[in-house]
């Protein structure tokens, strides 16, 4: 209000009081009406929010939106119904004009007096002071007759006050209900405090696997099975359960599969190969969950893994690290396996699932896991790491490895006899070439034997003998020895069959591995039987040698015929009976085969000699060796190395130089001379063979005569003993008691 001059203040006091009263009344009406409408909007919105949430079970995002709408609606109504009207406050002139409407007879007197009071009288307006004073006096008298309250719509004000009171009462009742009843308390916590409380309902659904943030962790790249159960407190449990799926590119609704496990109803659905995040909502009956987000996590796994094999002590091997990713691993049976690694995240449990049982892995600081499998626990098969992280997540593709146990193979034993045949005499010595090989070490080498037959004069027909030559090599993984087994201490009867083999044991614990060689079978015979067999085989070699002499003679004859044709140049090519190239090539091959056969015959005679010596058949002065070695074996080998080799080279030289007939003929002439020398030497060796056979036959005949004479003496002694016994028995019969 403009300031009134002190000169006219007393006359205008009543007017200014009326203006101030009217202004206060107007402001009260605006505030009352605005507050009533604002409270009415809030009550309506709160009621609507309660009804909507009760009916549709809003999820958290929807409740946040509703709370925002509630706050925005309250603020907008306050601005529209209270703030905006208060901004447009009426002026003093306007209020005075409203007052004049009550005095139509004194029209414009109040506004004129008010305007005249605003100026400095009388100079400013050029009016007299008496006129101004008279106008003000009339205005003061008119103001005394006015009542500003009559301008206010009291009925409307009363209804606005009633509306405000009703809304406040409603809000008070609501506050009381919130604090004293569960229904309104749930609504207050859900919609104003944005809590997770649920409305009372007949069915309650529980989603398994939710984390603290209300999301469900899912392993990236794997299938995830969603499980929903019905809370036992549910009044209605026979319901169908559905879920709504929503991601950035699609949305759909699907019914969940109902199962019964141990009397518990469960609803399941499998999300296949989860590779991106999504949200879903589960509902059934009158229950509906909030939208639940899928949070992708890495599957529990092994970041680093160390597998260390500790071989058995007897192998004396150092621990060995197994290369990762090279499964299956071949491990020696009896080994230990040390497992150490680091997981890619903290784990709740860690187990090693074996072929027959499971093992707990020790979990230490830094996501480390470790354990050791003892020999009895380390079995052949697949081992899988069953890992469960702190969110109770597992993986359907757990890491693992496969073990293949390798047995410590028994030693490999190779044994061969040399210089011995299938027949031996009781005092023979059997030479053996023995080789044994093991992965780690040979601890013993023995010869096992057994003999069977009609005669059984010996004390035992089974036994074993340690091979003394191998003592210095024991403890090594490989050995090779020459041994000679003397049969004389066994006192073997003639006619029995002797079976033997060589066995080797390794250093394996607790049970040693035993390797065996092939089994040999020998028949024990008398010296006469063995000599007869040797003579038979010697005769076979001599007959084969005679055939080789004839072969050499035929070769010499063919070379002579070829030489004649080559020297007769006048014979046409079409009339020649021999083709030089083919004849020389064939002769060379036949000459080579003859040399091979002679070497074989020499080896057979040498075997006969060694066999006779091993059976101790040679004379004391070694005349048998002198005859066979000096007169047969050595000459045969010299013949092979010298003359036969020269003949083969000569034939090859003749074949190469076929273009020069004269040179070829001369070369063949030299070959023929060598062949003649070979034939002479072969006949000389044949004579020694025949002589050796005769000598052996004579020895055999002499031994047969000796044996026959011995049999006659034994028979005569037996008859003499029986005759004497009969004489004494006859005298006893003539002199009875």
Which residues 6+ apart lie within 8 Å of 75 measured at CB? none
Containing 260, the helix (H) or strand (E) segment is: strand 257-261
- Residue 620's CB: how many other CB atoms inside 10 A? 5
Confidence (pLDDT) at 207 = 92
CA 277 to each of CA 293, 682, 723, 732: distance values in angstroms, whole numbers, following the listed order: 7, 101, 122, 127
- As a whole number, the mean pLDDT across the chain is 82
Instruction: Give the β-pairing of 514-516 and 497-506.
Output: antiparallel
Confidence (pLDDT) at 95 = 60
Average pLDDT over residues 90-108: 61
pLDDT in tens, 421-461: 889 999 999 999 999 999 999 999 999 999 987 654 544 58
Say whether pLDDT at 97 is over 70: no
Which residues 6+ apart lie within 8 Å of 39 measured at CB? 163, 164, 167, 168, 171
Residue-wise over 147-184: b if at least 16 C-beta within 10 A, else e?
ebeebeeeeeeeebbebbeebeebeeebeeebeeeeeb
pLDDT in tens, 464-482: 999 988 999 998 999 999 9
User: Contact 458/492 with Cβ under 8 angstroms?
Assistant: yes
For residue 245, the cross-strand partners are: 252, 280
pLDDT in tens, 588-624: 888 889 999 999 999 998 888 888 889 888 655 567 7
Confidence (pLDDT) at 425 = 92
- Residue 722's CB: how many other CB atoms inside 10 A? 10
Cis peptide before 510 (omega within 30 of 0): yes
Kindly report the CATH number that applies to the domain delimited by 302-406.
Answer: 2.60.40.10
Confidence (pLDDT) at 10 = 54
pLDDT in tens, 173-189: 888 888 888 888 888 88
Residue 454's SS3 state is coil
Confidence (pLDDT) at 737 = 44
Which value, in Å, is the radius of gyration of the alpha carbons in the chain?
65
Confidence (pLDDT) at 237 = 84
Instruction: Give the β-pairing of 292-297 and 302-310.
Output: unpaired
Confidence (pLDDT) at 119 = 54
Q: Rounded to an integer, what distance in angstroms lies between the CA atom of residue 55 and that of residue 42? A: 20
Tell me 148's DSSP state. G
Give the 3-state secondary structure of 89-102: CCCHHHHHHHHHCC
Which residues 6+ apart lie within 8 Å of 460 measured at CB? none
Nearest 5°: the CA angle 700, 705, 711 is 125
Say whether pLDDT at 567 is over 80: no
Residue-wise over 378-405: b if at least 16 C-beta within 10 A, else e?
beeeebbbbbebebebebeebbebebeb
What is the full DSSP assignment across 306-344? EEEEE--GGGTPPPEEEPTT--SEEEETT-EEEEEEEES
Say whether pLDDT at 381 is over 90: yes
User: Measuring CA to CA, which residue among 355, 389, 354 is closest to residue 369?
Assistant: 389
CA 223 to each of CA 250, 273, 543: distance values in angstroms, whole numbers, following the listed order: 19, 5, 87
For residue 503, the cross-strand partners are: 446, 516
- Higher confidence at residue 720 or residue 593? 593
Order across the sheet with 264-271: list the strands: 205-207, 224-230, 264-271, 257-261
Say whether pLDDT at 65 is over 60: yes
Burial of 681 (0-12, 13-18, 19+ CB in 10 A): middle
Q: Rounded to an integer, what distance in angstroms lies between the CA atom of residue 151 and that of residue 90? A: 14
Tell me 512's DSSP state. -
pLDDT in tens, 68-79: 998 998 899 888
Chain centre distance of CA 510: 31
Say whether pLDDT at 198 is over 90: no
Averaging pLDDT over each range in 298-312, 446-460, 700-714, which range is the top one?
A: 298-312
Least confident of 101-105, 297-301, 303-307, 563-567: 101-105
Q: Rounded to an integer, what distance in angstroms lies between the CA atom of residue 164 and that of residue 285? A: 41
- Residue 657's CB: how many other CB atoms inside 10 A? 14
Say whether pLDDT at 22 is over 70: no
pLDDT in tens, 326-350: 889 999 999 999 999 999 999 999 9
Confidence (pLDDT) at 708 = 67
Residue 615's SS3 state is coil
Average pLDDT over residues 125-147: 57
Half-sphere exposure of 583 (CA within 13 A, CB side): 21
Is the fold of 201-297 the same as that of 412-525? yes
User: Contact 646/674 with Cβ under 8 angstroms?
Assistant: yes
Q: Rounded to an integer, what distance in angstroms lies between the CA atom of residue 650 and that of residue 656? A: 10
pLDDT in tens, 360-372: 999 988 789 999 9
Kindly report the CATH number that applies to the domain delimited by 412-525.
Answer: 2.60.40.640
Average pLDDT over residues 701-714: 64
pLDDT in tens, 485-513: 999 998 889 889 999 999 999 998 888 89
CA 670 to each of CA 314, 344, 558, 647, 665: distance values in angstroms, whole numbers, following the listed order: 70, 90, 14, 9, 9
What is the full DSSP assignment across 164-214? HHHHHHHHHHHHHHHHH-HHHHHHIIIIIS--------S--EEETT--TTS
Q: Rounded to an integer, what distance in angstroms lies between the CA atom of residue 179 and that of residue 171? A: 12
The domain made up of 201-297 has a fold known as Immunoglobulin-like (2.60.40)
Average pLDDT over residues 655-659: 73
What distance, in Å, lies between the first and last C-alpha atoms of the chain?
Answer: 191
User: Measuring CA to CA, which residue among 192, 169, 178 is closest to residue 49?
Assistant: 192
Least confident of 114-123, 236-245, 272-281, 397-406: 114-123
Confidence (pLDDT) at 369 = 93
Domain edges within the chain:
6-180, 201-297, 302-406, 412-525, 528-718
Q: How confident is the model at residue 657 (pLDDT cuts 50, 70, 90)?
A: confident
Residue 249's SS3 state is coil
- Residue 123's CB: how many other CB atoms inside 10 A? 9
Q: Rounded to an integer, what distance in angstroms lies between the CA atom of residue 502 and that of residue 434? A: 8
Which residues 6+ apart lie within 8 Å of 102 measured at CB? 146, 147, 150, 151
Residue 353's SS3 state is strand
- Residue 116's CB: how many other CB atoms inside 10 A? 20
User: Contact 695/627 with Cβ under 8 angstroms?
Assistant: yes
Averaging pLDDT over each range in 281-285, 624-628, 656-660, which range is the top one?
A: 281-285
- Higher confidence at residue 565 or residue 440? 440
- Higher confidence at residue 441 or residue 117? 441
Q: How confident is the model at residue 134 (pLDDT cuts 50, 70, 90)?
A: low
Q: Rounded to an integer, what distance in angstroms lies between the CA atom of residue 105 and that of residue 728? A: 204
Confidence (pLDDT) at 111 = 57
Average pLDDT over residues 57-72: 87
Instruction: Give the β-pairing of 400-406 and 329-332.
Output: parallel
Q: How confident is the model at residue 380 (pLDDT cuts 50, 70, 90)?
A: very high
Q: What is the pTM of this model?
A: 0.59
Q: Rounded to an integer, what distance in angstroms lies between the CA atom of residue 706 and that of residue 109? A: 191
Residue ranges in 487-579 assigned as alpha helix (H): 527-567
Tell me 440's DSSP state. S
CA 262 to each of CA 265, 267, 498, 695: distance values in angstroms, whole numbers, following the listed order: 8, 14, 73, 101
């Amino acid at each position: 209000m403009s300031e009134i001059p002190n000169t006219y203040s007393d006359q205008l006091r009543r007017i200014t009081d009326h203006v101030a009263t009217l202004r206060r009344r107007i402001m009260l009406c605006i505030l009352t009406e605005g507050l009533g409408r604002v409270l009415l909007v809030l009550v309506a919105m709160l009621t609507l929010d309660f009804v909507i949430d009760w009916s549709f079970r809003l999820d958290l995002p929807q409740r946040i939106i509703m709370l925002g709408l509630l706050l925005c609606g309250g603020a907008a109504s306050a601005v529209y119904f209270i703030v905006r009207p208060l901004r447009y406050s009426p002026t003093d002139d306007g209020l005075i004009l409203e007052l004049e409407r009550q005095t139509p007879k004194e029209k414009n007197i109040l506004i004129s007096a008010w305007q005249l009071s605003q100026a400095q009288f009388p100079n400013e307006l050029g009016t007299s002071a008496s006129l101004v004073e008279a106008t003000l006096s009339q205005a003061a008298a008119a103001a005394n007759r006015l009542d500003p309250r009559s301008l206010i719509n009291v009925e409307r004000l009363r209804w606005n006050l009633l509306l405000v009171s009703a809304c406040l009462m409603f809000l008070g009742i609501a506050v009381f209900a919130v604090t004293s009843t569960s229904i309104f308390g749930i609504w207050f916590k859900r919609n104003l405090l944005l809590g997770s409380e649920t409305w009372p309902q007949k069915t309650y659904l529980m989603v398994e696997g939710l984390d603290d943030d209300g999301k469900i962790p899912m392993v990236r790249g794997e299938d995830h099975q969603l499980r929903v159960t019905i809370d036992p407190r549910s009044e209605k449990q026979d319901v169908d359960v559905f879920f709504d799926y929503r991601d950035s590119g699609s949305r759909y609704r699907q019914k969940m599969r109902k199962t019964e496990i141990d009397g518990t109803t469960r609803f399941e659905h499998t999300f296949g190969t989860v590779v991106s995040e999504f949200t879903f909502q589960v509902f059934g009956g009158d229950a509906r969950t909030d939208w639940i987000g899928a949070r992708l996590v890495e599957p529990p796994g092994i970041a680093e893994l160390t597998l260390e094999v500790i071989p058995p002590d007897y192998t004396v091997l150092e621990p060995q690290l197994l290369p990762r990713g090279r499964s299956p691993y071949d491990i020696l049976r009896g080994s230990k396996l040390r497992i150490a690694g680091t997981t890619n995240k903290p784990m709740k449990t860690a187990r090693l699932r074996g072929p027959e049982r499971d093992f707990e892995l020790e979990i230490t600081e830094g996501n480390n896991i470790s354990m050791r499998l003892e020999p009895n626990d380390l079995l052949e098969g697949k081992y899988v790491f069953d890992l469960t992280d702190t969110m109770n997540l597992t993986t359907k593709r757990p890491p693992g490895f496969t073990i293949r146990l390798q047995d410590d193979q028994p030693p490999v034993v190779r044994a061969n006899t040399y210089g011995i045949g299938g027949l031996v005499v009781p005092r023979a010595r059997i030479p053996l070439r023995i080789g044994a090989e093991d992965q780690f070490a040979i601890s013993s080498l023995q010869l096992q034997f057994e003999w069977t037959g009609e005669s059984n004069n010996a004390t035992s027909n089974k036994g074993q003998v340690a091979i003394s030559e191998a003592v210095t090599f024991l403890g090594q993984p490989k050995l090779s020895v020459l041994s000679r087994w003397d049969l004389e201490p066994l006192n073997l009867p003639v006619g029995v069959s002797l079976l033997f083999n060589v066995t080797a044991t390794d250093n394996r614990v607790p049970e040693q591995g035993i390797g065996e060689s092939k089994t040999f079978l020998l028949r024990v015979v008398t010296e006469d039987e063995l000599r007869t067999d040797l003579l038979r085989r010697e005769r076979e070699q001599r007959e084969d040698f005679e055939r080789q002499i004839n072969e050499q003679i035929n070769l010499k004859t063919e070379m002579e015929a070829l030489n004649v044709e080559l020297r007769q140049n006048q014979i046409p090519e079409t009339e020649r009976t021999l083709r030089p190239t083919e004849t020389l090539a064939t002769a060379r091959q036949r000459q080579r085969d003859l040399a091979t056969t002679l070497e074989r015959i020499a080896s057979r005679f040498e075997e006969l000699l060694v066999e006779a010596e091993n059976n101790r058949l040679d004379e004391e002065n070694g005349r048998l060796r002198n005859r066979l070695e000096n007169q047969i074996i050595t000459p045969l080998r010299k013949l092979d190395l010298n003359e036969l080799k020269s003949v083969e080279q000569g034939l090859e030289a003749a074949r190469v130089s076929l273009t020069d007939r004269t040179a070829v003929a001369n070369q063949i002439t030299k070959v023929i001379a060598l062949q003649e020398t070979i034939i002479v030497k072969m006949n000389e060796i044949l004579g020694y063979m025949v002589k050796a056979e005769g000598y052996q036959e004579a020895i055999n005949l002499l031994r047969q005569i000796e044996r026959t004479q011995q049999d006659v003496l034994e028979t005569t002694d037996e008859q003499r003993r029986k005759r004497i016994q009969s004489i004494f028995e006859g005298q006893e019969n003539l002199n009875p008691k």
